[in-house]
RNA sequence: GGGCGCGUAGCUCAGCGGUAGAGCACUACGUUGACAUCGUAGGGGUCACUGGUUCGAUCCCAGUCGCGCCCA
């Protein structure tokens, strides 16, 4: 065996072996009639590359899957990719541009889609290979794509189903419009970004000679004391370019300044349109002048006001967010436009903004301008400011299907871990808004609705069926496609074969657990709940494990623009997949972000090496597993101890994983293997492996068992190195991935007597090492150990472990003596007293200090406990158990103190002599 | 504005009513036939602050101060 595990060479071979042996297939290795365990992968975008968040998310899933598979469950990890409408269309369009090929519009829909499919075939599978590098044990034979024929059919069927039940409707309303992609997007795809901007105040002249008194001076109580007569209203806006679409000015119904003006009109500058002053409580008297311009076609709040007050909505922009005025009948109607305004036609919205402000200044209706910060909605993909835009779109009336999704979590049929995410889930669902599901894109599931020339709609699974419904009328299909999340919302039933009643659907649905990031609870998790419950009347999963975000080592969100992205594949290349996985797992504390630093990965790479070398040790010493080995029948205390430790480790892994405490599982395994097995068991066990000893055979078998048990319980976390070592040890006949998880219970393999002995031996060795180190005894020097006094029952222990103590503490001999010799250093372990004769090398003063320190530490602790035990309130109110434990501890410390004091006295005597 | 979370060793984080822990980093020593990607020993903390509950608070409660995120 090499001294290191060569991850880069072994990983791909090991993965291939797993695939060829079919160990990842649904149900592989399952016990007969086993319970099923199924996880659906959150489908990565087909355009995507594996980022660290995927690596984390899929490591967690793989641990759960491998753990269950080894425990004999009938396991399915269902993989797949999402067609990711906007993202993919964007990638392919860029590709066309880069290669200077005809753009999407020139190609036309059909040819463009062909190109997307081509692209998908060539470069779409990258992320699958990357998941394999991570070790993800998905059943790739069942890989699904949200645009597959079967999945597509299922999506259309659901659309038709929901349409027919009246849960899907078409409506003309304001949507969030992304002017870059020229499509509607849903509320969730909008992110609010704060930006510094300006607030402009405009004067809109009152018509028909109306005037009002506007306060200009106030007394101390804020009461107006002087007024001026105004023949205009001042309105404020951050978006001057939309003023051409103004159809009203609103004032608060209780605002006495303006009440006589309600229903009068102002003349909209530039457009020359008469617009009505309306009373609506949306206008806040305390803000600005209390009068607010209303642009129903370009602002969500204004839209509501317009609906309430009967104002028309005039769209003054194109889909690209440039001004549309010249051939805009709605705009021109009722206008007495000034020539300048038509020159704005076709200008980009920001250019139009500058021009309008400039015109306002020139024409004298600019009242003022102020700087302020405000939040501007942006498209999460395009990063451009979205426009509220008036269009016809398809909506899911989510309110009608939301209740079962709320109930399922309320009554615990689906549980969310950690529970704090439940309230986020409820809060969103209880305030659900209609879901805009149509997108003006080409790549996606085209909406299965046809229109005849009169505009009647026919919703059907195919053109033929629509034609039948239409009775031969001329039809054209709705050009829009569905929101990507509409189809991924059907991921659970869609991947398992619905609407066919497949065996997989029967066996694996509802699925066991969904592992996902909190950032897509709304996008995806909540919608899957709603849609599965609406379509098949059942929950999609029993549990939802919500994990946090992976951030950089300073806690910043990783992003390309910040340049702080850690590429998991680079980490895997450098440290191996096992190290990357173990790092992520060890940091996966429930409900907390992880800050990833590379040094941590390097640390776990060292753990992989440690495991590798422990196995190498076993090989050197011919420690081979014995078929008839019974862990509970070993005789030597050391072997009995490690068997018990191993059982405890297995037990705590199971407990931790069952409650999704992945970090506890990983850290427990790390401590067990490195600090128990390697630091102590293998070191103490070395003397027992000498060929001439009777105990050697048992110890070799125990070492083999311990190593192999460790490989098994580490396998879900570090599948590659464990599988490789398993193969090296077992000759490759059976695979670790399908090896049965140990069932032995904790109690049967525990031996408290052996545990106490070994722990005492460890303390003794540590104490000797500590003394040696502090007294600067050369590391290579062998020194004698004098035994002065032993606690009851320890004599045989010292005898049994004599050689181990000698070796690990680098002693020349262990002798019983009656009195400590001149120049020797006494020290204590629990209640036993020893000394090290170090006359020529020791630092007397330093050693005395060391003992005094220990004495003070003990004395301080004892005094704390004494105070507590002297407190009547404590004695009467604390639980008896706690009182008793405190007393025992105090007594034990007192005994130790006595021994230390004895050591000090002896030492003083020696110094005085 | 509403909600959630977080302030514990130099750094990244566990813990969570009764002994304050890990990894990394740091210091010293060291190649003993598994491992220097290692071993041994060691230093390092008013558990953000202020009150309260309790026999007892890093832990529970309230407030303050800092930081982050989500929603409007």
Angle of helix A7-21 relative to helix A719-730, nearest 10 degrees, comes to 80
**ipTM for the whole complex:** 0.94
Range in A53-62, A608-617, A815-824, A843-852 the model is least confident about: A843-852
User: What does the pLDDT read at residue A33?
Assistant: 85
Residue A660 pLDDT > 70: yes
Q: Answer for the pair A435, A523: CB distance below 8 angstroms, yes or no.
A: no
User: Does residue A583 lie within any of the structural domains?
Assistant: no
User: What does the pLDDT read at residue A637?
Assistant: 94
User: What does the pLDDT read at residue A657?
Assistant: 92
User: What does the pLDDT read at residue A841?
Assistant: 54
Three-state secondary-structure class, residue A110: helix
User: A707 and A782 share a domain?
Assistant: no
Q: Which of A242, A383, A354 is nearest to A302 (CA)?
A: A242
User: A744 and A764 share a domain?
Assistant: no
Residue A880: band (very low, low, confident or very high) from pLDDT cuts 50, 70, 90: confident
Nucleotide with the nearest C1' to A773 CA: B41
Chain segment A129-172, per-residue pLDDT in tens = 999 999 999 999 999 999 999 999 999 999 999 999 999 999 88
Q: What's the whole-number mean pLDDT along residues A744-756?
A: 85
A166 CA → B3 C1’, Å: 33
Q: Which of A371, A77, A54 is nearest to A196 (CA)?
A: A371
User: What does the pLDDT read at residue A143?
Assistant: 93
**Average model confidence (pLDDT) for chain A?**
87
Element (H, E) at A237: strand A232-237
Q: What's the whole-number mean pLDDT along residues A871-881?
A: 87
User: What does the pLDDT read at residue A769?
Assistant: 92
Chain segment A406-460, per-residue pLDDT in tens = 999 988 899 988 888 888 888 888 888 888 898 988 888 999 999 988 888 988 8
User: A737 and A761 share a domain?
Assistant: no
For residue A807 the two structure tokens come to: 């070796």
A870 CA → B59 C1’, Å: 25
User: What does the pLDDT read at residue A142?
Assistant: 94
Nucleotide with the nearest C1' to A1 CA: B34
User: A222 and A364 share a domain?
Assistant: yes
Which of A362, A377, A392 represents a domain boundary (last residue)? A377
Residue A431 is given by DSSP the state: T
Chain segment A172-192, per-residue pLDDT in tens = 888 888 888 888 888 778 887
DSSP characters over A596-652: --HHHHHHHHHHHHHHHHHHHHHHHTT----TT--GGG--SHHHHHHHHHHHHHHHH
Query: What whole-number distance in Å separates Cα of residue A904 and Cα of residue A755?
Result: 30
A592 CA → B6 C1’, Å: 9
Length of chain A: 913
User: What does the pLDDT read at residue A555?
Assistant: 63
User: A301 and A354 share a domain?
Assistant: yes
A610 CA → B38 C1’, Å: 9
Which of A324, A349, A377 represents a domain boundary (last residue)? A377
Query: What whole-number distance in Å separates Cα of residue A410 and Cα of residue A422?
Result: 9
User: Does residue A51 lie within any of the structural domains?
Assistant: no
Three-state secondary-structure class, residue A243: helix
A441 CA → B68 C1’, Å: 36
User: A762 and A838 share a domain?
Assistant: yes
User: What does the pLDDT read at residue A326?
Assistant: 85
Q: What's the whole-number mean pLDDT along residues A44-51?
A: 82
User: What does the pLDDT read at residue A120?
Assistant: 86
Instruction: Quote the number of domains for chain A.
Output: 3
Residue nearest B23 (alpha carbon to C1'): A600
Nucleotide with the nearest C1' to A671 CA: B22
Residue nearest B38 (alpha carbon to C1'): A610
Cβ count within 10 A of residue A193: 11
A812 CA → B33 C1’, Å: 20
User: A203 and A338 share a domain?
Assistant: yes
Residue A341 pLDDT > 80: no
User: What does the pLDDT read at residue A839?
Assistant: 65
Protein contacts on strand B: list nucleotides below 7 Å from a Cβ. 3-6, 11-15, 18-19, 22-25, 28-42, 54-56, 68-72
Which of A715, A750, A785 represents a domain boundary (last residue)? A750
User: Does residue A819 lie within any of the structural domains?
Assistant: yes
Query: With pLDDT > 90 as the criterion, what percentage of chain A qualifies?
Result: 36
Residue nearest B29 (alpha carbon to C1'): A779
Q: What is the pTM of this model?
A: 0.89
A821 CA → B43 C1’, Å: 32
User: Does residue A564 lie within any of the structural domains?
Assistant: no
Residue nearest B72 (alpha carbon to C1'): A192
Query: What whole-number distance in Å separates Cα of residue A203 and Cα of residue A233?
Result: 5
Q: Answer for the pair A91, A115: CB distance below 8 angstroms, yes or no.
A: no
Nucleotide with the nearest C1' to A607 CA: B37
User: What does the pLDDT read at residue A702?
Assistant: 96
User: A761 and A744 share a domain?
Assistant: no
User: Does residue A610 lie within any of the structural domains?
Assistant: yes
Nucleotide with the nearest C1' to A886 CA: B18
A850 CA → B56 C1’, Å: 32
For residue A732 the two structure tokens come to: 């490759």
A236 lies in which domain range?
Answer: 191-377
User: A877 and A852 share a domain?
Assistant: yes
Chain segment A284-327, per-residue pLDDT in tens = 877 778 888 888 888 888 888 888 888 888 888 888 888 887 88
Residue nearest B11 (alpha carbon to C1'): A553
For residue A693 the two structure tokens come to: 């000893």
CATH number at residue A631: 1.10.730.10
User: A235 and A289 share a domain?
Assistant: yes
Nucleotide with the nearest C1' to A575 CA: B37
A563 CA → B12 C1’, Å: 20
User: A771 and A899 share a domain?
Assistant: yes
CATH number at residue A313: 3.90.740.10
Nucleotide with the nearest C1' to A762 CA: B40
Query: What whole-number distance in Å separates Cα of residue A823 and Cα of residue A907?
Result: 8
User: Does residue A50 lie within any of the structural domains?
Assistant: no
User: Does residue A300 lie within any of the structural domains?
Assistant: yes
Nucleotide with the nearest C1' to A614 CA: B34
User: What does the pLDDT read at residue A224?
Assistant: 80
User: What does the pLDDT read at residue A738?
Assistant: 92
User: What does the pLDDT read at residue A912?
Assistant: 64
Query: What whole-number distance in Å separates Cα of residue A346 and Cα of residue A335?
Result: 18
Q: Answer for the pair A461, A108: CB distance below 8 angstroms, yes or no.
A: no
Q: Answer for the pair A100, A685: CB distance below 8 angstroms, yes or no.
A: no
Residue A76 pLDDT > 60: yes
User: What does the pLDDT read at residue A840?
Assistant: 59
Residue nearest B3 (alpha carbon to C1'): A424
Instruction: Give A617 or A773, the one with higher predicted confidence.
Output: A617
Three-state secondary-structure class, residue A43: coil
Nucleotide with the nearest C1' to A576 CA: B37
User: A733 and A881 share a domain?
Assistant: no
In chain A, what is the straight-line distance between the N-terminal and C-terminal CA atoms, in Å? 58
User: What does the pLDDT read at residue A343?
Assistant: 81
Say how many CA atoms lie within 13 Å of A142 toward its Cβ.
24
A786 CA → B64 C1’, Å: 59
User: Does residue A876 lie within any of the structural domains?
Assistant: yes
A1 CA → B35 C1’, Å: 12
A190 CA → B71 C1’, Å: 12
Q: What's the whole-number mean pLDDT along residues A790-798?
A: 91
């Amino acid at each position: 065996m090499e001294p290191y595990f060569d991850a880069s060479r072994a990983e791909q071979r090991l993965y291939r072996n797993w695939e060829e042996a079919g160990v990842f297939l649904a149900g592989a290795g399952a016990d007969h009639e086993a319970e099923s365990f199924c996880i659906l992968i959150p489908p990565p975008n087909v355009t995507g590359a594996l980022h660290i968040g995927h690596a984390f998310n899929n490591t967690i899933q793989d641990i759960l899957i491998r753990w269950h598979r080894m425990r004999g469950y009938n396991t399915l990890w269902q993989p797949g990719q999402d067609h990711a409408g906007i993202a993919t269309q964007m990638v392919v369009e860029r590709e066309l541009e880069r290669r200077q090929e005809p753009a999407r519009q020139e190609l036309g829909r059909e040819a463009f889609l062909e190109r997307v499919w081509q692209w998908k075939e060539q470069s779409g599978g990258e992320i699958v290979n990357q998941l394999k590098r991570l070790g993800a044990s998905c059943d790739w034979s069942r890989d699904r794509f949200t645009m597959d024929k079967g999945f597509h059919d299922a999506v259309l069927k659901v659309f038709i189903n929901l349409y027919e039940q009246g849960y899907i409707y078409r409506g003309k309303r304001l949507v969030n419009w992304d002017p870059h992609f020229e499509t509607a997007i849903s509320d969730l795809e909008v992110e609010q970004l704060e930006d510094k901007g300006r607030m402009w105040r405009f004067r809109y002249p009152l018509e028909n000679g109306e005037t009002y008194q506007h306060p200009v001076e106030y007394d101390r109580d804020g009461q107006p004391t002087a007024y001026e007569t105004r023949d205009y209203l001042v309105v404020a806006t951050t978006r001057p370019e939309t003023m051409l679409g103004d159809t009203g000015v609103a004032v608060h119904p209780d605002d006495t300044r303006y009440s006589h003006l309600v229903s009068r009109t102002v003349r909209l500058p530039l457009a020359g349109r008469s617009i009505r002053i309306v009373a609506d409580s949306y206008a806040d008297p305390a803000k600005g002048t209390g009068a607010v311009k209303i642009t129903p076609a370009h602002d969500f709040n204004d839209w509501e006001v317009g609906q309430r007050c009967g104002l028309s909505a005039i769209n003054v922009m194109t889909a690209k967010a440039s001004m549309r005025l010249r051939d805009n009948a709605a705009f021109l109607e009722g206008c007495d436009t000034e020539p300048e305004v038509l020159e704005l036609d076709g200008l980009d919205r920001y250019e139009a903004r500058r021009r309008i402000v400039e015109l306002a200044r020139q024409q004298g209706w600019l009242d003022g301008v102020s700087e302020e910060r405000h939040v501007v909605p942006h498209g999460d993909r395009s990063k451009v400011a979205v426009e509220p835009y008036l269009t016809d779109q398809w909506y899911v009336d989510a309110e009608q299907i939301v209740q079962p999704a709320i109930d399922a979590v309320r009554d615990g049929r689906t549980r969310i871990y950690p529970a704090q995410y439940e309230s986020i889930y409820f809060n969103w669902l209880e305030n659900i808004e209609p879901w805009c599901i149509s997108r003006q894109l080409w790549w996606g599931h085209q909406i299965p609705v046809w229109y005849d020339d009169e505009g009647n709609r026919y919703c059907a699974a195919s053109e033929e069926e629509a034609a039948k419904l239409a009775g031969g009328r001329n039809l054209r299909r709705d050009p829009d496609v569905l929101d990507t999340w509409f189809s991924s919302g059907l991921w659970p039933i869609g991947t398992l074969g619905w609407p066919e009643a497949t065996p997989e659907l029967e066996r694996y649905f509802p699925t066991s657990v969904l592992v996902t990031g909190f950032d897509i609870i709304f996008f995806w998790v909540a919608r899957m709940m709603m849609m599965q419950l609406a379509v098949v009347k059942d929950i999609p999963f029993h549990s939802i494990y919500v994990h946090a975000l992976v951030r950089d080592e300073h806690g910043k969100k990783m992003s390309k623009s910040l340049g702080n992205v850690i590429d998991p594949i680079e980490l895997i290349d450098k440290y191996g997949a096992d190290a990357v996985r173990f790092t992520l797992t060890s940091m996966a504390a429930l409900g907390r972000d992880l800050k990833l630093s590379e040094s941590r990965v390097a640390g776990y790479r060292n753990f992989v090496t440690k495991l590798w070398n422990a196995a190498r040790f076993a090989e050197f010493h011919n420690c081979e597993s014995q078929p008839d080995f019974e862990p509970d029948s070993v005789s030597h205390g050391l072997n009995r101890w490690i068997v018990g430790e191993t059982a405890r480790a297995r037990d705590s892994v199971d407990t931790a994983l069952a409650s999704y405490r992945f970090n506890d599982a990983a850290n427990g395994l790390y401590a067990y293997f490195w600090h128990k097995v390697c630091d102590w068991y293998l070191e103490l066990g070395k003397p027992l492996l000498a060929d001439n000893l009777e105990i050697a055979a048992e110890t070799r078998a125990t070492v083999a068992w311990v190593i192999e048990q460790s490989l098994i319980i580490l396998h879900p976390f570090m599948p590659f190195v464990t599988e490789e070592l398993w193969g090296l040890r077992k000759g490759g006949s059976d695979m670790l991935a399908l090896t049965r998880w140990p069932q032995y219970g904790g109690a049967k393999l525990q031996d408290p007597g052996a545990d106490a002995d070994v722990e005492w031996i460890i303390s003794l060795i540590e104490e000797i090492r500590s003394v040696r180190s502090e007294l600067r005894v050369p590391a290579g020097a062998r020194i004698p150990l004098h035994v002065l006094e032993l606690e009851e029952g320890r004599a045989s222990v010292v005898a049994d472990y004599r050689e181990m103590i000698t070796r690990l503490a680098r002693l020349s001999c262990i002798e019983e003596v009656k009195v400590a010799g001149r120049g020797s250093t006494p020290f204590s372990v629990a209640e036993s007293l020893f000394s090290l004769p170090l006359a020529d090398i020791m630092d007397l003063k330093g050693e005395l200090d060391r003992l005094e320190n220990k004495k003070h530490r003990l004395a301080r602790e004892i005094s704390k406990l004494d105070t507590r035990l002297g407190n009547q309130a404590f004695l009467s109110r604390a639980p008896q158990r706690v009182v008793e434990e405190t007393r025992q501890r105090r007594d034990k410390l007192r005994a130790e103190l006595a021994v230390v004091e004895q050591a000090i006295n002896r030492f003083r005597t020696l110094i005085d002599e």
